[in-house]
Amino acid sequence: MLTRTRAKGSSRKGAKCRETSHRTTGAHATGIDLPPEFVDAKLEVSDLVGVIEQVAFEVASATEIGFADDSSDSTPMVHVGMNIEDKVMMMKQMARGARPKSTTLVYDVTRVGDGDLIDPLPWASGEKFTFLDEREVCENAAASAGLTPTFVHDHGEMAREIFKKPSASPPPVNLGHPMGSDMPTMFGNLRESVNAGIMSPAIPEFAI
């Protein structure tokens, strides 16, 4: 059972940390993010939904996290790699913080086909903030960090189905709040690129 997990990139509102802690494992979860305002938002929402004692959020970079070596049962990474150029260092930091013989995973979007990206996207307002690499690049970075792949969950078809059938009634607190008025345009561009076969989400699992 997980007792302590560290999440690199924990969504704009910290949902992945809260889900890991409250709904899935009962572990204490610590998430990191780079913008202080995102960290403040995660703390505020966690307090509102009553799980503030089970989670923590810190300002840190995915390539220079402050966690001690071997200090966590797992170090999952959620929607981070698209913003990180140095994916080898990113993976090394993820591996460093996890205990030996543990398992971790990455939920990210990677390039799977040719074509130009349309800005803005949910993770970047322009091209200089996007480092969307092919899946092979990410796999090689993981191997350089000593991570052993065990399984890959391809979510491409799931994403296309979701885009075909958007929710008729979005939740009262949704991504439009932290991401602002550009959110519909960002997700429209994402939908177009996924449907065109340019990018696709996946969840590879790794053994430390």
Task: Look at residue 195 and tell me whether its pLDDT is greater than 90.
Answer: yes
Domain ranges of the chain: 61-112+125-156+203-207
Secondary structure in 3-state letters for the chain: CCCEEEEECCCCCCHHHHHHHHHHHCCEEEEEECCHHHHHHHHHHHHHCCCCCCEEEEECECCECCCCCCCECECCEECCHHHCCCHHHHHHHHHHHECCCCEEEEEEEEECCCCCCCCCECCECCHHHCCCCEHHHHHHHHHHCCCEEEEEEECHHHHHHHHHCCCCCCCCCCCHHHHHHHHHHHHHHHHHHHHCCCEEEEEEEEEC
CATH class of 61-112+125-156+203-207: alpha beta
Mean pLDDT is lowest, of 20-34, 77-91, 148-162, for: 20-34
Name the band, by pLDDT with cuts 50, 70 and 90, for residue 2: very low
- What is the average per-residue pLDDT within 100-120? 93
Read off the pLDDT of residues 48-105 as tens digits, 9 standing for 90 and up: 888 888 889 999 999 998 889 999 988 999 999 999 999 999 999 999 999 999 999 9
| Choice between 13 and 27, residue whose per-residue pLDDT is larger | 27
